[in-house]
Chain A
């Protein structure tokens, strides 16, 4: 009885921490994005609200909440609202299987900093990832607008193509680790003294492309294409409902997929790796905190890289995007899969 209570308490705390961190961070990443974009274009970005615009996300949130919530006349109200839930929930749920650090002990209770260490964690990630297509298709359909419908159809096309690619791309690390549990994959990388990016560069590049495509980040932001579709499927949403879609798509999803990329290819919470020899930890002075810092650092760097790409590259056409997926990326992942299967025994030893 006692232990069950403790278990529930621990899980409750974990859920609160993850939800708070993810949604709060998501809001603040809007500021990060605006700053990065501004400096790339040699502007200072938001400067007025708070020191260097630090309170800007709060002001934005306040503004979005107090805005009128307009609903299109011939839309379907139930689906219109359901789309929001369907977008938000799977994106946040992915964080349930992201391991933030190694197991540690507080007050004699062993805590794994991962919400549920299910042994098919990766499967869950990609299952939830493909849920996103429902949200977008519903949003486009329910708002009864041509722009929204075209945007959502494009996005659905992209996700269907890249879902296949991303699944084959992560097959490499899965073979090397021999498990689907995210926690175990990181543990395996530490045991084998190897970040899988060293053996899987192709898979990593393909994964990055697919990640950009799934989250609608720049070279693949065809579903919103400001110039031709205004903002695609969010065009009929107003107020905070409009605010939630970019929050989910551009920040929470990018964050979750970056975290998964770190877990799969960059050794999760392990410090800098020299292949097959060991790890070097320049942050050793942080003691037991260092793994967490490493994890956050890697995710942050990956996120910044995505922003950097976003504000550099122009947009591809829809046919080019799907063509790349089926004709280039997919064959590459097949080749990678075969090579990995051949190389795997060397890693297993």
Chain B
């Protein structure tokens, strides 16, 4: 049902003594003298939640690969598995899933012992839309998005993530946050303060 709601017109008393102005002014003055609630960005930083979709990384081989998918792909492509190096099996599924596939430059190489491994993996972040499709596509949980969001760089060249950078980000991530439970905000002291300040109390449910 659509209900029409009309604002009550101001009474003459309210008009003559500017009651509506005074109400607004009292709100702003109360805010003006209470504590500020902003984060002083370059000096104070919030850690984004674990699921944040920031810069990319390659998780490295550390014995926590999704099984049996990882072993199956390694088998199929005869991949050289080196602990501490990228898990990538050069399946190119990430490139296929991407809406801007040309931002990927992926190449594999054949080692003397007949096995293969990834040799080039460049991602041009200037073209990326951070949609995360590539991450969903990766069958061995290799490509992922980290919490790195300060992505400014001095030149266009710096915004290309190479295999080396991706592995470094991945190693760093696995050390810092892999084991963290999947919550929305981890250091949400700031955020909790906001919730509590607004006094969000649910109305009591009355029992019949």
On A, residues with C-beta under 8 Å from B are 36, 38-44, 47, 308-309, 311-313
Q: Which of A36, A42, A311 contacts B36 (CB 8 A)?
A: A42
- A309-B36 contact, Cβ under 8 Å, with A40-B31, A42-B31: no
Query: Could you tell me if B40 and A47 are in contact, using CB atoms closer than 8 angstroms?
Result: yes
Query: Which 10 pairs, one residue from A and one from B, show the smallest C-beta to C-beta distance?
Result: A312-B28, A39-B32, A40-B28, A312-B24, A40-B32, A44-B36, A43-B38, A42-B36, A42-B37, A312-B25
Q: Which of B27, B32, B35, B37 contacts A36 (CB 8 A)?
A: B32
Question: What are 5 A-B interface contacts by the 8 Å CB criterion?
Answer: A39-B32, A43-B36, A312-B21, A312-B25, A312-B27
Kindly provide the distance from the CB of A313 to the nearest chain B CB, expressed in whole angstroms.
6
Query: Could you tell me if B28 and A311 are in contact, using CB atoms closer than 8 angstroms?
Result: yes
Kindly provide the distance from the CB of B9 to the nearest chain A CB, expressed in whole angstroms.
15
Residue of B nearest to A314 (CB): B24
Once bound together, how far apart are the Cα atoms of A44 and B43, in whole Å? 14
Once bound together, how far apart are the Cα atoms of A40 and B34, in whole Å? 9
Interface set, chain B 65-87, CB cutoff 8 A to A: none
Q: Is B29 an interface residue (CB 8 A)?
A: yes
B28 neighbours in A (Cβ, 8 Å): 40, 308, 311-312
B38 neighbours in A (Cβ, 8 Å): 42-44
Query: Could you tell me if A308 and B29 are in contact, using CB atoms closer than 8 angstroms?
Result: yes
Residue of A nearest to B42 (CB): A48
On B, residues with C-beta under 8 Å from A are 21, 24-25, 27-29, 31-38, 40
Once bound together, how far apart are the Cα atoms of A279 and B192, in whole Å? 52
A311 neighbours in B (Cβ, 8 Å): 28
B40 neighbours in A (Cβ, 8 Å): 44, 47
Query: Could you tell me if A41 and B24 are in contact, using CB atoms closer than 8 angstroms?
Result: no
Once bound together, how far apart are the Cα atoms of A132 and B78, in whole Å? 81
A42 neighbours in B (Cβ, 8 Å): 31, 34-38
Q: How many residue pairs, one in A and one in B, have C-beta atoms under 8 Å apart?
A: 36
State the main secondary structure of chain A at its contact with B: loop
Kindly provide the distance from the CB of A56 to the nearest chain B CB, expressed in whole angstroms.
15
A309 neighbours in B (Cβ, 8 Å): 21, 25
Kindly provide the distance from the CB of A342 to the nearest chain B CB, expressed in whole angstroms.
21
Once bound together, how far apart are the Cα atoms of A133 and B54, in whole Å? 52
- A308-B36 contact, Cβ under 8 Å, with A41-B31, A42-B31: no
Kindly provide the distance from the CB of A99 to the nearest chain B CB, expressed in whole angstroms.
30
Kindly provide the distance from the CB of B190 to the nearest chain A CB, expressed in whole angstroms.
13
Kindly provide the distance from the CB of A208 to the nearest chain B CB, expressed in whole angstroms.
10
Once bound together, how far apart are the Cα atoms of A44 and B11, in whole Å? 38
Once bound together, how far apart are the Cα atoms of A308 and B32, in whole Å? 10
Q: A40-B32, A313-B21 are in contact. List 10 more A-B contacts (CB 8 A).
A: A38-B36, A39-B36, A42-B36, A42-B38, A43-B36, A43-B38, A44-B36, A44-B38, A44-B40, A312-B24
B25 neighbours in A (Cβ, 8 Å): 308-309, 312
Once bound together, how far apart are the Cα atoms of A346 and B172, in whole Å? 84
Once bound together, how far apart are the Cα atoms of A311 and B24, in whole Å? 10
Kindly provide the distance from the CB of B46 to the nearest chain A CB, expressed in whole angstroms.
16
Residue of B nearest to A47 (CB): B40
Query: Could you tell me if A313 and B34 are in contact, using CB atoms closer than 8 angstroms?
Result: no
Kindly provide the distance from the CB of B88 to the nearest chain A CB, expressed in whole angstroms.
43
Once bound together, how far apart are the Cα atoms of A344 and B123, in whole Å? 83
Kindly provide the distance from the CB of A221 to the nearest chain B CB, expressed in whole angstroms.
16
Once bound together, how far apart are the Cα atoms of A42 and B198, in whole Å? 14
Most chain B CB within a 10 A radius of its CB, from A41, A311, A312: A312
B36 neighbours in A (Cβ, 8 Å): 38-39, 42-44
A40 neighbours in B (Cβ, 8 Å): 28, 31-32
Most chain A CB within a 10 A radius of its CB, from B28, B35, B38, B40: B28
Once bound together, how far apart are the Cα atoms of A313 and B24, in whole Å? 7
Residue of A nearest to B30 (CB): A40
A41 neighbours in B (Cβ, 8 Å): 31
Once bound together, how far apart are the Cα atoms of A39 and B33, in whole Å? 7
A44 neighbours in B (Cβ, 8 Å): 36, 38, 40
A313 neighbours in B (Cβ, 8 Å): 21, 24
Kindly provide the distance from the CB of B118 to the nearest chain A CB, expressed in whole angstroms.
44
Residue of A nearest to B37 (CB): A42
A43 neighbours in B (Cβ, 8 Å): 36, 38
Residue of A nearest to B23 (CB): A312
A47 neighbours in B (Cβ, 8 Å): 40
Once bound together, how far apart are the Cα atoms of A41 and B32, in whole Å? 7
Once bound together, how far apart are the Cα atoms of A219 and B193, in whole Å? 33
Once bound together, how far apart are the Cα atoms of A43 and B41, in whole Å? 12
A308 neighbours in B (Cβ, 8 Å): 25, 28-29, 32
Once bound together, how far apart are the Cα atoms of A211 and B9, in whole Å? 27
